[in-house]
Amino acid sequence: MATVRQSRGFAGAVLKLMRAGDYELTVTDRHQIGPHYLRLSFAAGGLLADRAVHPTMWIRLWFPDGERLHQRGYTLVDPDPAADTVDVEFALHDGVAARWAQQAEPGDTIEATVLGSNFALPTPAPAGYVVVGDTASLPAINSLLDAIGDAPAHVFLEAAHAEDRLLPVRHPATWVDRDGDALVDAVAAAAFDAPDHFGWVACDNRATRAVARVLRDDYGMARRSVKAQAYWVA
């Protein structure tokens, strides 16, 4: 009987041509951190070996959906190269990746590719940070806040659900309920003269663009002082 190979489509072919390394991660544990937020622990399959880890580092996971695999970005949480383990935190919604995570059990495996993640803290150190995101970027934001230590940080987070406000954040944050432009408006309302600050933004595509504009126009940050990346498409 012919085996049906799962196709990774065009993106997968391009990544293969670029010789992206492929790894197999194995689920070892589940922690339901909130009703809409799940942390999975993985044996990393060598993914962390001989690799420098940076704040906000993310990988591409390949989620099965019938015959196809869909690639989605996810952030490394507590990567431990010596133990070859890593966690991933999933904001839960109705999507292929989120559904896979909700059903994942110890022993389940998933393919991973390391390609495209590159971030370093700005040098010289800025006077402070303005950090804007939601539960999808919370793992990255926590790794960023860990890395900047005691540097002043203004953190704005969008809550999709009331319980999101209880999720662990490394630094006091202003939570804003997801409601149209409420997050963008809150960031704009708190504007101060901040040309010496660094902005880090990761929300849905529309909010990311709008917040980045606010940081440039209302906070006076230079374009190069704002790292903005859409984490999901609304």
Ligand X SMILES: Cc1cc2nc3c(=O)[nH]c(=O)nc-3n(C[C@H](O)[C@H](O)[C@H](O)COP(=O)(O)OP(=O)(O)OC[C@H]3O[C@@H](n4cnc5c(N)ncnc54)[C@H](O)[C@@H]3O)c2cc1C
Q: Is 122 in the site for ligand X (CB under 6 A)?
A: no
Adjacent-strand bridge partners of 227: 200
Please select the residue that binds ligand X; options are 89, 111, 158, 164, rule is CB under 6 A.
89
Bond preceding residue 172 cis, omega within 30 of 0: no
Q: Is 158 in the site for ligand X (CB under 6 A)?
A: no
Q: Is 38 in the site for ligand X (CB under 6 A)?
A: no
CB 199 within 8 A of CB 228: yes
Please select the residue that binds ligand X; options are 23, 62, 74, 129, rule is CB under 6 A.
74
Binding region for ligand X (CB under 6 A) out of 42-50, 89-97, 105-113, 207-215: 89-97
Closer Cβ to ligand X, 61 or 214, answer by number:
61
- Rounded to 5°, the CA angle 170-35-144 comes to 20
Please select the residue that binds ligand X; options are 2, 52, 82, 233, rule is CB under 6 A.
233
Please select the residue that binds ligand X; options are 91, 104, 132, 212, rule is CB under 6 A.
91
Q: Is 34 in the site for ligand X (CB under 6 A)?
A: no
Instruction: Please report how close the Cβ of residue 232 comes to ligand X at its closest, in angstroms.
Output: 3
Q: Quick one: the chain helix, strand, coil %, rounded to 5?
A: 25, 35, 40
Interatomic CA distance for residues 200 and 144, integer angstroms:
9
Q: List, in sequence order, every beta strand (DSSP E) within 35-159.
A: 37-43, 58-65, 68-75, 77-80, 85-91, 109-113, 128-134, 153-159
Q: Is 23 in the site for ligand X (CB under 6 A)?
A: no
CB 6 within 8 A of CB 67: yes
Q: Is 90 in the site for ligand X (CB under 6 A)?
A: yes
Q: Write out the binding residues for ligand X, residues 128-147 only, by CB under 6 A.
A: 136, 139
Please select the residue that binds ligand X; options are 94, 105, 150, 193, rule is CB under 6 A.
94
CB atoms within 10 A of CB 123: 6
Binding region for ligand X (CB under 6 A) out of 20-28, 93-101, 149-157, 218-226: 93-101
Q: Is 96 in the site for ligand X (CB under 6 A)?
A: yes
Closer Cβ to ligand X, 89 or 111, answer by number:
89
> Exposed, middle or buried: residue 70 (CB in 10 Å: 0-12, 13-18, 19+)?
middle
Residue nearest to ligand X (CB): 95
Using alpha carbons, select from 126, 122, 142 the residue that is nearest to residue 134.
Answer: 142
Judged by the rule CB under 6 A, the positions of this chain that interact with ligand X are 58, 70, 72-75, 89-91, 93-98, 136, 139, 160, 231-234
